[in-house]
Amino acid sequence: MKKTKFGITKNGELAGRYRLENKAGLVVEVSDFGALVLAIRVPDRFGEIRDVVLGFDSLEEYYDTRTGFGAYVGRNCNRIADARVVIEGVEYWLDANNGVHNIHSGNDRSHTKSYEAAVGEREEARFVEFTRTSPHMEQGFPGNLEQKIRYTLTENNEFIIDYVMVSDRTTVVNPTNHSYFNLSGHNRGNVLQHELEVYSDGFLLTSKSLIPTGEIATVEGTPMDFRRKKMVGEDINADYLPLQMAGGYDHNYVFANDGQLKKMAKLHSPESGISMEVYSDLCGLQLCSASFLKDIKGKNGAVYQGSAGLCLETQFYPNACKEPTFPSSILTAGKVFRSRTIYRFLTE
Active-site residue, from 101, 104, 178, 268: 178
What are all long-range contacts of 19-26, with beta carbons under 8 Å and residues at least 24 apart? 20/126, 20/127, 20/128, 20/151, 20/152, 20/153, 21/126, 21/153, 22/126, 22/153, 22/154, 22/155, 22/157, 23/155, 24/155, 24/157, 25/49, 26/153, 26/157, 26/345
Active-site residue, from 129, 138, 197, 313: 313
Q: Are 187 and 214 in contact (CB under 8 A)?
A: no
Distance CA 34, CA 65 (A): 12
Q: What is the average pLDDT across 10-29?
A: 97
Cβ contacts of residue 244 below 8 Å, gap of 6+? none
Instruction: Please check the confidence at residue 125 and state whether its pLDDT lies above 90.
Output: yes
Domain ranges, residue 327: 2-347
Give the pLDDT score at 122. Answer: 86
> Parallel, antiparallel, or unpaired for β 102-103 and 145-154?
unpaired
Tell me phi and psi for residue 141, to 5 degrees: -95, 145
CA distances from residue 17 to 31, 39, 121, 129, 146 in whole angstroms, order as listed: 5, 10, 17, 13, 22
Identify the CATH number of the domain in which residue 169 sits: 2.70.98.10
Instruction: Specify whether 234 is catalytic.
Output: no
**pLDDT above 90: percentage of residues in the chain:** 98
Give the pLDDT score at 347. Answer: 96
Give the pLDDT score at 124. Answer: 85
Q: What is the average pLDDT across 164-177?
A: 98
Global pTM reads: 0.97
Give the pLDDT score at 1. Answer: 73
Q: Average pLDDT of the chain?
A: 97
Distance CA 160, CA 151 (A): 6
In 3D, which of 42, 39, 3, 1 has the Cα closest to residue 24?
A: 42
List alpha helices for the chain, DSSP H: 241-246
| CA atoms in the 13 A half-sphere facing the CB of 133 | 7
Give the pLDDT score at 123. Answer: 80
Give the pLDDT score at 300. Answer: 96
pLDDT digits (tens, 9 = 90+) for 323-333: 999 999 999 99
Residue 2: pLDDT band (50, 70, 90) is confident
Total domain count for the chain? 1
Instruction: Specify whether 186 is catalytic.
Output: no
Q: What is the average pLDDT across 46-57?
A: 97
Residue 270: pLDDT band (50, 70, 90) is very high
Give the pLDDT score at 238. Answer: 98
287 backbone φψ class: left, alpha, beta (φ>0; ψ -120 to 50): beta
Q: What is the average pLDDT across 24-40?
A: 98
User: Residue 300 gets which letter from DSSP?
Assistant: G
